Amino acid sequence: MKLTLGFSPCPNDTFIFDALVNKKIDTEGLEVEPVLEDVQTLNEWALKGKLDITKISYGVLPLIIKDYIVLNAGGALGKGVGPLFITRNDGEVKPVEEMTVAIPGEQTTAHMLFSLAYPQVRKKKFLLFSEIEDAILNGQVDAGVIIHENRFTYQDKGLLKLADLGEYWETTTSNPIPLGGIVIRRNIDPVLQRRADSLIRRSLEYSFAHYPAVTDYVKQHAQEMSEAVMRQHIDLYVNNYSLDLGSDGRSAVKKFLDIYGNLHQTSVNGTELFLENNL
């Protein structure tokens, strides 16, 4: 059986899926066809039901939950891992409500967290996460929300942190931040769903067992990133929640969806969100 598997080229995702994609573990007859794209593209594809298994931002989950169910393994949750709100460090900072702010995709968790912290901002520009710093520096926007490896390097470019949106979430809700999850189509046989979930966990266990080595697969997709930044990326976004959401992780996702529902006057109550944990 072959299933399409979408994830980003960022080190945290390639670290998780390396052993599965490259058959460093026994895949029990399951073949995966990897499709690597930025998370906003994966969000848009999830809205169309394009892939069998895919990484998504939790910000898009309410819009796809009728077609996909959340797996226990492979996601990104944690504390101190949230998006940062930044601007130019030139001594002139506009009031936030007057700013044009770059966001890394409309259906992203970053957008949801920013909207929660700054509901008064109306001028937003949706860009690829890798374009946001340059957009701030060249004056295309006044500020932006950054994710991924940019949070390690923004100061080197003369940029200033205005707020840590993750800290805002943690202070407001006392929950870890649900950034991205792995979902699988509901119409796939439940036995195969559970096998995929188990294999993702085993793939990550294999990578953890060989860490801090950074494999060629991770390096290949990390472009010009140094190994030190790759490890920072992995250390920040890959943790025990990536092995298994657990009760804390599930509670955080449910809280996120409750807040989303309040903001958008919608609800996913009555829908099974998570694959039954077979561990």
Which of the residue ranges 3-7, 71-75, 110-114 would you say has the lowest mean pLDDT?
110-114
Above pLDDT 90, what percent of the chain? 73
Contacts of 35 (CB under 8 A, 6+ apart): 4, 5, 6, 7, 51
135 assigned to a ligand binding site: no
Nearest to 33 by CA among 17, 16, 10: 17
Query: What distance in Å separates the CA atoms of residue 255 and residue 258, rounded to the nearest whole number?
Result: 5
Residue 25 has pLDDT above 90, yes or no: yes
The second-level CATH assignment, the architecture, of 84-173 is: 3-Layer(aba) Sandwich (3.40)
Residue 278 has pLDDT above 60, yes or no: no
pLDDT score of 277: 64
- Contact assessment for residue 81 and residue 152, using Cβ atoms and an 8 Å cutoff: no
pLDDT score of 95: 92
pLDDT score of 108: 84
Which of the residue ranges 152-161, 170-179, 255-264 would you say has the lowest mean pLDDT?
255-264
pLDDT in tens, 233-277: 899 899 999 999 999 999 999 999 988 888 777 777 667 899 986
Amino acid at 24: K
pLDDT in tens, 207-220: 999 999 999 999 99
Residue 196 has pLDDT above 70, yes or no: yes
Classify domain 2-77+177-264 at the CATH class level: alpha beta
Query: What distance in Å separates the CA atoms of residue 238 and residue 63, rounded to the nearest whole number?
Result: 25
Active site residue 210: no
Q: What is the mean pLDDT of residues 116-137?
A: 93
pLDDT in tens, 31-44: 999 999 988 899 99
109 assigned to a ligand binding site: yes
Nearest to 246 by CA among 126, 105, 71: 71
Above pLDDT 70, what percent of the chain? 97
Nearest to 199 by CA among 10, 6, 21, 8: 21
Domain ranges, ordered by start, for the chain: 2-77+177-264, 84-173
Contacts of 240 (CB under 8 A, 6+ apart): 246
Query: What distance in Å separates the CA atoms of residue 247 and residue 32, rounded to the nearest whole number?
Result: 28
Q: Exposed, middle or buried: residue 243 (CB in 10 Å: 0-12, 13-18, 19+)?
A: buried
pLDDT-based confidence at 279, cuts 50/70/90? very low
- Contact assessment for residue 81 and residue 242, using Cβ atoms and an 8 Å cutoff: no
Q: What is the mean pLDDT of residues 25-34?
A: 96
Give how far Cα 61 sits from Cα of 140, 170, 175, 182, Å.
30, 20, 18, 10
The pTM assigned to this predicted structure is 0.86
Q: Would you say the CATH fold of 84-173 matches that of 2-77+177-264?
A: yes
57 assigned to a ligand binding site: yes
254 assigned to a ligand binding site: no
User: Given 111, 148, 210, 264, which residue is catalytic?
Assistant: 148
Cis peptide leading into 212, omega within 30 of 0?
yes
pLDDT score of 270: 64
pLDDT in tens, 33-78: 999 998 889 999 999 999 999 999 998 999 999 999 999 999 999 8
